[in-house]
Amino acid sequence: MKLIFLILMQNEFELTDFEKASLQKWDEKFSFNPEKENPYRYFPILIKDVIGKTVFISYRNDKLYYELSPVPEKYSYSYILIYSEKNRFDFIIEPLLTYWQEDIFEMLALLLNLEIFFIIDCKDEVKQNQCYENFDEEIETLLPQEYYKEKLFLFGIESNHEFIEIATPINIFASVFLNKKVFYRIMIFYLESLEAANIYYDDSKIKVIKKKLQILLNLL
């Protein structure tokens, strides 16, 4: 049986007292103590943001600072480093900095095409029309919906009309259901961090996919 953590943002969903208490216990159990909470605090900061009431900070992954702030070996080849307040979003940061890193543009393109299917299927005609206006090129070349689902499954991702499900790196039988707006804001934060770090000589691909994700956010 899968262990499922349902991450819900209080500004969009009203949590019961029991759910709030459960999230608090989960937060305390998996958070580091204040001294160890942010292991990258000596690294050069790229950008900061607040997403889903959680502080996100990205850093330049510079080996000159490894003696001051040791970096886990799994992140030694990561383009950047990301810290989320109380490590709440480690389940998404770890794949971003490791096995999603090299294929991030392919993964986001797959997600975008799948989201187009969901928007076209919804009953909101305004959103449907905006989708056709902004993603006409993608719509013309859409493949069967199952193609995108199968490809995303290889990334440990499943998506439906409401949430994105991510298999946790720690336990393949555990999943996290994440609010889509939060997920895509984290993706945009990651892309903006890559821009700030000047990872790519030509960052036009980043700009294109980032713009599409920003349009998508307004349609969700």
In a domain, 6, yes or no: no
Q: Helix, strand or coil for residue 157?
A: strand
Predicted confidence at residue 15, as pLDDT, reads 59
Give the model confidence (pLDDT) of 71-113 as tens digits: 889 999 999 999 998 778 888 999 999 999 999 999 999 999 9
CB-based contacts of 182, cutoff 8 Å, min separation 6: 7, 9, 51, 52
Neighbouring CB atoms inside 10 A of 37's CB total 13
In a domain, 14, yes or no: no
In a domain, 56, yes or no: no
In a domain, 123, yes or no: yes
CA distance 104 to 79: 12
Predicted confidence at residue 1, as pLDDT, reads 34
Predicted confidence at residue 17, as pLDDT, reads 73
Q: Which residues of the chain have pLDDT under 70?
A: 1-16, 18-37, 168-174
What's the domain count of the chain? 1
Instruction: Return the structure tokens found at 6.
Output: 């349902």
CA distance 148 to 170: 25
Predicted confidence at residue 39, as pLDDT, reads 83
Predicted confidence at residue 172, as pLDDT, reads 54
In a domain, 209, yes or no: yes
CA–CA distances in Å: residue 210 to residues 118, 197, 199: 19, 16, 15
Predicted confidence at residue 85, as pLDDT, reads 85
Q: Which of 163, 171, 185, 220 is nearest to 50 (CA)?
A: 185
In a domain, 22, yes or no: no
In a domain, 193, yes or no: yes
Mean pLDDT of the chain: 85
What's the domain range around 118?
102-219
Write down the H helix ranges in 60-163. Answer: 90-97, 104-121, 125-134, 136-140, 145-153
The continuous run of DSSP H or E covering 21 comes out as helix 17-30
Predicted confidence at residue 29, as pLDDT, reads 56
In a domain, 201, yes or no: yes
